[in-house]
Amino acid sequence: MFKHIEEHSVIRAYRSDSAAWQRQTYSIWVEATDYFAHQRKSKESNMLAAGQSFCMGQASRKQEFYDQAVRSFQMALDFLPDWPLAIEALALTYHTTGRRKETQEYLSKALRLDAELIHSRIAFAELFCEKHNYKAAEDVLKLALRYQPSDAGIYWRLGHIALSDLRLKEAFEAYEQAIRVNPFCTEAFIGKSCVRLMEQDYNSALDFIKLALKHDDTSSEAYINLAIIYHNANRLVEAEEAFSKAITLAPRSAKNYFRIALFYWNINSKAKAERYLRIALNCDDLRSHYYSALGLLMLEYGRIGEAESCFRQALLINSDDLIALHGLTIISWLDGRGDEAEALKTHAKSILKAGKRSITSEILPRLHPKLF
């Protein structure tokens, strides 16, 4: 039924490849919008009108005009109420704006209509990661492989989850599989460099970053890894230059600022860690783990009131944020609120049980979503 509009090259590429969205630009979606508008001049139909509204919504997403994107996708659904791709796009927009209940509702509806929607599968995996249920996230991604066995994006995301669990060999194999299906997969080369960094094999890590930048010299995440490698080699000037390059390439990337903050925190440069965490929040204040990380840092500073405020804000965004739950548990015990502390601790344990994880002081810092 929807074949006519989904055969448009831009929509077809978006639907069939998880990496297409990153490559596609605002102007590409504007051109697609104009194409459907022109087609409607000679032949008006609900399908063409839906295609135009959908492409208009995608263009708005590219510009981060999310309210406008929602209106466009809803308009597309007024013309074609059961078009899975438009339902999915609406869900993805809600996910970006932190509306998790609506995200899950529309993703479920889209997948009931079309089980092959790759972006829906990935978004569901991200939702499970937010709940720290990485096992469920892995299952969702492995199910996606049944429909898209040659999509590198699924493999490198599986690698990220394994990496977060310190299953380094499994992570490396997932990244290698991503490269086998797409020899130019920058994310997989970055992932392999992360494995080597954790193994403290800095020369090998550098080799993989060079490969990543060979395929995409605009990858800000590659420059962050390069900066970490330089810093570990005591090449401090080059490290700062690489961090600056990453920021220049992606000045609004909250996750980059978050990674930089964690790096400085790890080397005990807490002032810089706080600075970059706050910049991350300025860029995106809808991710609970940014608030919970800042709360932990405030605890280290002994700024208990600020820490509690951060943890409570994190839980307003995501009631299953483990770091925030454990942080508030500590504060509640210190403040003599034993009943509240016990309730928070029980909630945290139930999340860990559902995600088939156990909590220890060693893995606590790694209980953050890895697929944002």
- Are residues 187 and 176 part of one domain? yes
Which amino acid belongs to residue 368? H
Q: Which pLDDT belongs to residue 355?
A: 66
Token pair 């609406």 is at which residue? Answer: 90
Give me the CATH number covering residue 238: 1.25.40.10
Q: Return the percentage of the chain with pLDDT > 70, whole number.
A: 95
**To the nearest whole percent, how much of the chain has pLDDT over 90?**
81
Instruction: Tell me the average pLDDT of the chain.
Output: 92
Which domain, by its residues, includes 342? 274-372
- Supply the pTM of this predicted model: 0.87
How many Cα neighbours within 13 Å face the side chain of 239? Answer: 12
Cα torsion 7, 8, 14, 20: sign:
positive
Question: How far separated are the first and last CA of the chain, in Å rounded?
Answer: 33
User: How far apart, in whole angstroms, are the C-alpha atoms of residue 194 and residue 208?
Assistant: 9
The pLDDT value recorded for residue 357 is 56
Q: Are residues 3 and 137 in the same domain?
A: yes
The torsion defined by the Cα of 245, 249, 253 and 258, in degrees rounded to 10, comes to: -10
Together in a domain, 32 and 145: yes
Rounded CA gap, 203 and 282, in Å?
35
Residue 366: which pLDDT band, with cuts at 50, 70 and 90? very low
Specify whether 244 is located in the same domain as 291. Answer: no
In a domain, 316, yes or no: yes
Residue at 269 is within a domain: no
